[in-house]
Chains A and B, each alone.
Chain A
Amino acid sequence: MFKRLRTKLTVLYAGLFCIVLVLISAAAYAVAARQAQSQVRDQLVATGAVFDRLWQVRFAGLQEGAELSVRDYGFRQAVATGDAATVRSALQNLHRRLGADLVVLVPPEGGAINSEEESPLPLSAALKTALENDDALTGVLEVDGVLHQAVTAPVLAPNLLGWVVVGQRLDQEEMRSLEQLSPIPLHAVALSRLDGVWSAPGERLSVRDRGAVSTFINRAMSDRSARPESINVRGGRAVALVRPLRTLDGSRAVLFLSYPLALALANYRSLFEALIAVGVLGLALVAIGTWLLARGITRPISELETAARDLEAGEYAPVRVETSDEIARLALSFNAMIDAIKLRERRITDLALTDSETLLPNRLALERRLKTQDARDRRVFVAAIGIDRFEQVRSAIGYAHANALIARIGERLVHLSSRAPMGRLATDVLGVAFLAGDEGDARRRIAALQAKLEQPLSLDGQVVDIDVSVGVAAVEGEEAHVDRASIALDQARKARVKLAFFDSDSYGDPARNLSLMGEMRRALSRGEIRLAHQPKLDLRARRITGVEALVRWTHPSRGPLPPDLFISMAEETGNIRALTEFVLHQAVEDQSKLAAAGWPLAMSVNISGRLIGDRHFAKHAIEAVRGARHGFCFEITETAVIDNPKLALENIELFAAHSVQISIDDYGSGLSSLAYLKQLPAHELKIDKLFIQHLTDSKRDALLVRSTVDLAHGLGLKVTAEGVEQPACIALLAAMGCDMAQGYLISRPVPVHELLSILEDTHRMDFLGHTALRAGGEAA
């Protein structure tokens, strides 16, 4: 409801105060009203009694006058004579003498003679009857619509000559003079009942009041109540008292005394005024006081809230503390919390930028500092310094010492190029940024650095030799410089050089290559991937006896893709199985085509090391080549067996059991373990082209090849030489007793229809056959 605590408190307290004030006022009013009413009642009763007394006195006065008058001898004589003029003049005389408003003679036979000459007064028969029963009456009499206080007296001579009625008008003036005799300023009115309604001639009662007054009087009359009661009339509530008046003629009349309550309450007005004044003042004080108090409470809270918001936004603004209450303590705690958070955040930042093992800056720290590097007129380079043989060194000296070693090298780096941004990039790689004029300058600087870094280090008294390779990348644009330096390091190591600059051409575009795998399935179905067959020349039979099926992918937009690229990608991404199965089926198909053309050749297919341990693949492969018309050979590298020797050997034995020959591919380029040579149930050994290419020039290579051929033959394996490019080479191989030769000299890998034309090129075949024969002859 209220958004601010201050408003809420102020409204609450002010509201409570108001309620209390209203209750007090109501109670005071109720008490005052009751008090006033009871006072008014008492006064009315008292005044009623006074009125009665006054009434009696006035009657007595009237009566005395009337009695004296009617006993006047002359008056009686005048009446007795019966002369109207005389009688009237006598009445006029009486009228003057008594000072009365009404002087009437009522003869026993009825009618009335008044002092005026005009019409006789319409006195009622009821009055006459009453007079006959009692000729000395006192009471109210209505004459001509005007109430009179009247008395009667008989005129006796001594027989009854009539009655004299003497009356005083009860008009407003008369009532006012009556009212003035009362101790309280009440309102008195004499009312008579006419046609069921109580009314006072001359008294201006509104219709509403007349009704209310009539009801009130009727009730009071029926209750015979002499107690004042409340009545609602125009101008508010009043307390009223009804006193019945005796009438001369038996009709009904009352004296109605009323006193407006407002007048009674007027005495209390000053009390209420004081109460209101005190209330308003109190309310203002409460509101101001509460507001000030609430502000005192809420201002520090608001400041805390603002500070908390700032903290949320990452701004550390401490809160001002002015007091020493709970909120102040909260603010102090808050400030302490801010300090703690600041400290912790700094530590987290430090940790995030520090290598925990060596306490050197880490890669992130280096990258951050690179962003702020100012090169001016020179260029910024990043060098990734890799410690060679780190794994061996680590296993030799232990983890702790290895970390210490890195730390020492890092210190050395800092020492050599102080203030240069540096950081540990990987377990055995440190990075450093430096400025150089151009690549040549950079190369010279790195070389100098390398020389200094490679000085032997002493760890716990042990001297450790250090070799480092360095990859360098220029800092250009927003590229990932550190990544490129690391790649340059990989490239240096691969090329077995001490220093390499990042070569984007040889690195290619890994992300783009990755998308190739998504395209491979489509490529397989659309025929973008095909087989190319490289013939194998049987050096003894001097003819082509087999082919090696190789896979080629002509990408619609990128053209022919290097097989190394997509095959290794397929191996890494798990697509190699689909690719190999495609090759197997295609090879079986091509073998049938060749056979149909009159060339029953053995077919060799390369099986990736990733698949050789796969039992499901093995079964599928056997199934695929089951229908082959001629011999099938799976070429496997030795290293393929190393990962999971047990499963690999089982599968290889399974192949052999199903008449699939096994060939050991690229022999000599890998580990060329004799142990595996012993275990593998192979039929063929293919010597890597590394040994063949320089066979004719290098006696060493020739010796190695000859020994290998002898070794293979000794184990019962046939030997195939790869990479044969020169006729001299083929002759030499034949002389060494090598069984088969494969290479560009014989044929590059070609599609099956091209292969057929080569096979049918008798001239070429003869040339090859003669070359082998000549060599064989020489050797022999």
Chain B
Amino acid sequence: MQFDPFVLIAPAGASVAFPNYDSLRHQVYSFSAAGPFELRLYGRDESRSVSFRNVGVIAIGCNIHDQMAAFIYVTDTPFAMKTGANGIADIAGVPPGRATLRVWHPYLRAPDSQIERPIVVPAGAMTQALEVGLRPPPHRRYSY
């Protein structure tokens, strides 16, 4: 049992649905300051929605199943993109000029798991390479 996707990018104000396809019930919650919520137990084929107004990272868990974890990155920029498994994200349509590049991962070894970098976007395409370190995910160390 797991949330899917593990990481979701949501624009601020968007509503995110948490449909339950499992044959058991879940109690989804988040204590994150940007948008804490708690969805009381709901069963199979039921869905609950939560709208996130504030920008920030929402860590989502299930109170019954500790190994379940997911993160919603609420942002107000349209130029946000999730990398593939290869770690590459191709963001198109960014206007040239000054900009701030932010890289986030739930287990990134950085303050607030996020790296910020000011960049100047040229008129054409550009490639920005960043090397990051990841912490081991906590769940993997749980074995009970």
Q: Which A positions have Cβ atoms within 8 angstroms of B?
A: 67, 71, 73, 76-77, 80-82, 109, 132-136, 154, 156-161
Contacts and interface: CB of A to CB of B under 8 A. Distances in A.
A138 to B, nearest CB: 13
- Rank and list the top 6 A-B pairs by shortest CB-CB distance, nearest first: A80-B31, A158-B61, A158-B69, A159-B59, A157-B31, A156-B138
A416 to B, nearest CB: 155
A77 B38 CA distance: 11
Interface of B: 29-33, 36, 59-61, 63, 66, 68-69, 71, 106, 111, 135-136, 138-139, 141-142, 144
A73 B106 contact: no
A134 B66 contact: no
B106 A159 contact: yes
A160 B31 contact: no
B59 A135 contact: no
28 contacts: A71-B66, A73-B29, A73-B63, A76-B31, A80-B36, A82-B33, A109-B111, A132-B135, A134-B141, A135-B138, A136-B141, A136-B142, A156-B61, A156-B66, A156-B69, A157-B31, A157-B59, A158-B59, A158-B60, A158-B66, A158-B68, A158-B69, A158-B138, A158-B139, A159-B32, A159-B69, A159-B71, A159-B106
A71 to B, nearest CB: 6
Contacts of B30: 157
A135 B138 CA distance: 8
Nearest to B58: A159
Given A158-B69, A159-B106, A81 B31 contact: yes
A156 B60 CA distance: 11
A132 B137 CA distance: 10
Contacts of B139: 156, 158
Contacts of B61: 156-158
Which of A77, A81, A156 has the most chain B CB within a 10 Å cutoff? A156
A508 to B, nearest CB: 154
Contacts of B138: 135, 154, 156, 158, 160
Contacts of A156: 61, 66, 69, 138-139
Contacts of B66: 71, 156, 158
Nearest to A136: B141
Contacts, number: 45
Contacts of A71: 66
Contacts of A77: 31
B108 to A, nearest CB: 12
Contacts of B111: 109
A748 to B, nearest CB: 174
A151 to B, nearest CB: 14
Given A109-B111, A156-B139, 17 more contacts: A71-B66, A73-B29, A80-B31, A82-B33, A134-B141, A135-B141, A136-B141, A156-B66, A156-B138, A157-B30, A157-B31, A157-B59, A157-B61, A158-B138, A159-B32, A159-B59, A159-B106
A384 to B, nearest CB: 152
Which of A67, A82, A134, A160 has the most chain B CB within a 10 Å cutoff? A160
A82 B66 CA distance: 21
Contacts of A157: 30-31, 59, 61
A81 B33 CA distance: 8
A240 B74 CA distance: 62
A342 to B, nearest CB: 121
Contacts of B142: 136
A159 B72 CA distance: 12
Nearest to B71: A159
Contacts of A132: 135
Nearest to B59: A159
A154 B143 CA distance: 13
Nearest to B63: A73
Contacts of A82: 33
Nearest to A160: B138
B103 to A, nearest CB: 17
Contact of A67 (B32, B69, B71, B144): B144
Contacts of B33: 82
Which of A132, A134, A154, A158 has the most chain B CB within a 10 Å cutoff? A158
B123 to A, nearest CB: 39
Nearest to A64: B144
A67 B66 CA distance: 12
A135 B137 CA distance: 11
A454 B26 CA distance: 182
A134 B68 CA distance: 20
Contacts of B141: 134-136, 154
Nearest to B70: A158
A67 B141 CA distance: 13
A158 B58 CA distance: 10
B66 to A, nearest CB: 6
A161 B139 CA distance: 13
A135 B106 CA distance: 17
A82 B33 CA distance: 9
Contacts of B68: 158
Nearest to A79: B31
A156 to B, nearest CB: 5
Contacts of A159: 32, 59, 69, 71, 106
Contacts of A109: 111
A191 B142 CA distance: 31
A711 to B, nearest CB: 182
A351 B77 CA distance: 165
A132 B139 CA distance: 13
A136 B141 CA distance: 8
Nearest to A71: B66
A109 B106 CA distance: 15
Nearest to B144: A67
Nearest to A154: B138
A139 to B, nearest CB: 16
Nearest to B67: A158
A135 B107 CA distance: 14
A126 B139 CA distance: 23
Contacts of B63: 73
Contacts of B59: 157-159
Nearest to A134: B141
A75 to B, nearest CB: 11
Contacts of A154: 138, 141
B139 to A, nearest CB: 7
B28 to A, nearest CB: 11
A233 B59 CA distance: 59
Nearest to A153: B142
Which of A77, A80, A136, A159 has the most chain B CB within a 10 Å cutoff? A159
A70 to B, nearest CB: 10
B29 to A, nearest CB: 8
Nearest to A78: B31
A695 to B, nearest CB: 184
A157 B106 CA distance: 12
Contacts of A135: 138, 141
A55 B107 CA distance: 34
Nearest to A159: B59
A159 B33 CA distance: 13
A159 B105 CA distance: 11
Contacts of B136: 133
A227 B141 CA distance: 35
A248 to B, nearest CB: 16
Nearest to B33: A82
A755 to B, nearest CB: 175
Contacts of B29: 73
Nearest to B65: A158
A161 B106 CA distance: 12
A671 to B, nearest CB: 168
Nearest to B57: A159
Which of B33, B71, B135, B138 has the most chain A CB within a 10 Å cutoff? B138
A158 B36 CA distance: 13
B38 to A, nearest CB: 9
Contacts of A67: 144
